[in-house]
A and B are shown apart, each in its own frame.
Chain A
C-alpha cells in the first residue's frame, strides 16, 4: 500500500519530510515525551519531532555520565547527542517524565547543549490544582517559544493546531477500529510505523496520508493466518522490528498501551475551551503512563477495555531494563489480569533490539499456551 510505504519512510530520523521542512528554512524542535503538547510547537510553525535514538549501538558516554544502571534509551540519546546526531534539531523540549529523562536533559545541557532548550514541569497527579499548574507551565512554554524563535502563537494558531492534531487522533482511532476485525487489514508492525511517522512528519501531510491509508486498508485483504491476538503494553518502544518478532511467531498485535501507540493519541483535546486550558486538561487526564501516581486504576481499566474490545487472547508486557515505573506498573497489572484469567508474558528489553533469540523462545512458548484461533 502506498501510504504504508510512505509511513515506513517517515518513521526514521531524519527523513525526507524533515529534510523538506528544513529546506524551507523552518525550525525543527525535538521533544522527549508524550506528555509534551506538540500542538504548541506546531502552532509556532515549528516542526515537533519526538526524539528517538535508533541507530545507537553502544553507549560509552552514556554509561560514563549517567551510569550503566540508567535506562538504555536515555544513554543512547546522550550518546547520539554528543556525536552530533541530533544536529538537525534547532532545540529540545524535555519534561520530568521520569528521573532518567530529567537527568538526560541535565546531561544534554552540560555536554551537548541545543540552541534552544526548555523544560516543562508536569505534575504527577490530576486535580484542579495540578491542572492549573500545568496550564501555567504551558503558558510559560508558549511565551518562551515566542521569544526564542521570534514568533507569535495566537489563540487561533493554537486552536488550528489542536484541530489538526485531533484529526490525527480521530483518524488513528479509526485505524485502530479496523484492527478489531477478525482479519485486521493492518499488522501491529505497520501500525507502529504509522504512529512513528506521526511524530516526525508535518501533521497535515500525516493526516492526508492517514486518510489515504484508511481507504487503502479497507480494500486490503485482512490478516487471518495468525495464532493469537496480542495486546502490547509497556514502556517506551519505538522499534517496529520488536513487534515484528512477535508477529513472525504468530502473535498479531491488535492493540497496545504504548507511548508510541494509544497513549499518544487516544484522547482528544476539547476544541471549544480555552486552548491552553484544554491542552492542560487533556495531557494530564489522558490515558496515562505510570509517571502519573494516581492513575493506576484508570490504566487498568483502559487495558481491560482494550482486551475486551479488541478480542485480545494474551497480553505481552515489555519493560525497558532499569525502568522503575514500568516494573511497578507491570507488577500490579500482571497480578490483576492474572486474577481474571488473562494470559500474560513479561519481557525485559534494552532500547536497542538485542537478545532476539531468547525473546523468540519466550514468545513462542507463550504462544503455545494460548488458544489457537
Chain B
C-alpha cells in the first residue's frame, strides 16, 4: 500500500471523532492496521472510506440513515443521505471477539438469547445501551428476511427514539410460473418505496431529485451487470477466484450500490476473475472440492475459508450473501427506474432466497449446485435463524435426492465464538470432507 495513501487515513484516525463513534473508530483503526502491510487495493480503500464517510457525515451535519444488511443504499445516496449498514458492527467486530461484550450487555438487560434472536442484530442493543454505536438520524428496515431483524430494529427504534420507516416485503406463495408472485407485487413494493421517499423528504426537508435518482439507478445497474458477469465467471473450473471474492461484491453493493465507486469496484472484481479464467488460473491452487455455502460466513473465524483452501484445496464458490443475483435493467424512464429499484429490493442477497416458501431457497440451492458444478454443501446456520434452519433438512433432502451430493448442516453462532468454537466447526467440516466428500 502506498505510503501517502495510508498516511491519509492515519491522519484521519488521529482526528477527534464524535463520542458515540468510539467503537466505529476502533473498527476503522483495526482495519487500517490490518491493511497497512498489504499492497494497495481499491476494496480496502472502499471499506476505510465507508468508516470515514459516516464519521464525516456526522461532523458535517449530513443525515445518517441506518439500514440492514439486506437492502442496498442507492435510494439513500440519491437522497443525499449517508447510509450506515447496521450489521457492519456484528460482522466487523466478530473476528476480534468484540461482539461478545455487547452480546453480554444485551443479555444482561434481558433482550433475547442466542437461540431466539440472531446476533447479527442483537449486539446493537448492547452497544446502544453503552452509548458506543453511532446514533443515526433515521432508521429503515424491511419485514424480511427474518423476525430477528424486524424485532431488534423495533427494539432499537424504541430505545433510541429514532424516526423509522419500514417496508413490507410480500411473502411468496410458490408458483414457478410467476417471477414475482403476482401482478400486484411490483406495484406494491414500488408504492412503498415511493412512500419511503415521501417520508425521507419530510424528515430531511429535501426535495427528491429525479435526475439524481436516475443517475443513481444507472450506476446501480452498471454495477449489477458487472456482478452478474462475475457470477457467471465463477462457473469456470477451476474457480478463477478464491472463496472471498463474491463476498466482496456483496459488500460493494450493500455499502456503495448506486455510486460510481460500486461500478469501478465491481468492474475491478469482474476483470480480475475474467483475466484468471482466460489464463486458466484458479483462485485456489490445485482446486479439488467446490463448495456451496448457502448461508452466511462464520464471521468470527476469518481464517476458515483460507483453512479450507489450504488443507482441502476446497473453494467456496459463493456464500448466500455473496450470491447477489440482481440483473441489470432498463433505466430509460423514471418508471423503469422504480421498477428496477423494486426488483433489487425483492431480490437482494438473502431476501430473494428467503422471503418466500421453501421452494425458493431449495430452487436457488439446486440451481447453484448444478450451475457451479458443486461437490458438496455446507450450511453453518445461526441457531436463531428459523427461516433457514427450519427448512435446512428439506433442502438437504432435495439436494441429495436430485443431485446426489452430500450436505452438512451444523448449528453455530457466526457472531459469537463462545457458542460453538472454531475448532468444533472446523472439526465437523473436516470430518464431513474427509469421511463423506473425498
A327-B357 in contact given A67-B392, A107-B390, A121-B173 (Cβ < 8 Å):
no
Complex Cα gap A334–B23 (Å):
29
- Those of A273-323 within 8 Å (CB) of chain B: 290-291, 293-294, 296, 321-323
Asked if A103 contacts B386 (CB within 8 A), the reply is: yes
* Stretch with Cβ within 8 A of A (4 or more), from B30-38, B97-105, B147-155, B323-331: B147-155
Tell me which of B182, B393, B411 contacts A65 (CB under 8 A).
B393
Asked if B168 contacts A322 (CB within 8 A), the reply is: no
Asked if A110 contacts B390 (CB within 8 A), the reply is: no
List the count of A-B residue pairs having beta carbons below 8 Å apart: 143
- The CB with the most chain B CB atoms within 10 A, among A100, A106, A133, is that of A106
Asked if A130 contacts B168 (CB within 8 A), the reply is: yes
Asked if A327 contacts B151 (CB within 8 A), the reply is: yes
- Those of B201-217 within 8 Å (CB) of chain A: none
Asked if A331 contacts B110 (CB within 8 A), the reply is: yes
A324-B151 in contact given A293-B143, A293-B166, A331-B110 (Cβ < 8 Å):
yes
Contacts of A102 in B (CB 8 A): 171, 357, 387
Place the interface of chain B in its size category: 35 or more
Contacts of B358 in A (CB 8 A): 103, 106-107, 109-110
- Interface size in chain A (residues, C-beta < 8 A): 49
Complex Cα gap A243–B289 (Å):
56
A323-B394 in contact given A66-B389, A100-B386, A121-B173 (Cβ < 8 Å):
no
* Stretch with Cβ within 8 A of A (4 or more), from B1-9, B12-20, B87-95, B184-192: B184-192
The proximity string for B residues 120-157 relative to A, scoring 1 for CB distances below 8 Å and 0 otherwise, is 00000000000000000000010100111011111100
Complex Cα gap A322–B181 (Å):
30
A123-B394 in contact given A129-B191, A328-B154, A328-B155 (Cβ < 8 Å):
no
Assess whether B111 is interfacial by the CB under 8 Å rule: yes
Asked if B168 contacts A124 (CB within 8 A), the reply is: yes
Asked if B168 contacts A65 (CB within 8 A), the reply is: no
Asked if B390 contacts A70 (CB within 8 A), the reply is: yes
Tell me which of B111, B141, B168 contacts A331 (CB under 8 A).
B111
Contacts of B111 in A (CB 8 A): 327-328, 331
Contacts of A125 in B (CB 8 A): 143, 166, 168
Asked if B146 contacts A99 (CB within 8 A), the reply is: yes
A70-B389 in contact given A110-B358, A324-B116 (Cβ < 8 Å):
yes
**Is chain A's interface secondary structure helix, strand, loop, or mixed overall?**
helix
- Those of B152-174 within 8 Å (CB) of chain A: 152-155, 158, 166, 168, 170-173
Assess whether B195 is interfacial by the CB under 8 Å rule: yes
Asked if B166 contacts A124 (CB within 8 A), the reply is: yes
Asked if A328 contacts B152 (CB within 8 A), the reply is: yes
Contacts of A116 in B (CB 8 A): none
Asked if B171 contacts A70 (CB within 8 A), the reply is: no
Contacts of B263 in A (CB 8 A): none
Complex Cα gap A123–B389 (Å):
23
Asked if A121 contacts B152 (CB within 8 A), the reply is: no
Complex Cα gap A100–B391 (Å):
10
Asked if B173 contacts A106 (CB within 8 A), the reply is: no
Asked if B389 contacts A69 (CB within 8 A), the reply is: yes
Tell me which of B117, B173, B384, B411 contacts A119 (CB under 8 A).
B173
| A–B Cβ pairs within 8 angstroms, 5 of them | A66-B389, A69-B386, A100-B386, A125-B168, A328-B111
The interface of chain B, by Cβ under 8 A from chain A, is: 110-112, 115-117, 141, 143, 146-148, 150-155, 158, 166, 168, 170-173, 181-182, 184, 188, 191-192, 195, 357-358, 381, 383-384, 386-387, 389-394, 411
The 7 closest A-B pairs by CB, nearest first: A103-B390, A328-B151, A106-B358, A124-B143, A121-B171, A69-B115, A99-B386
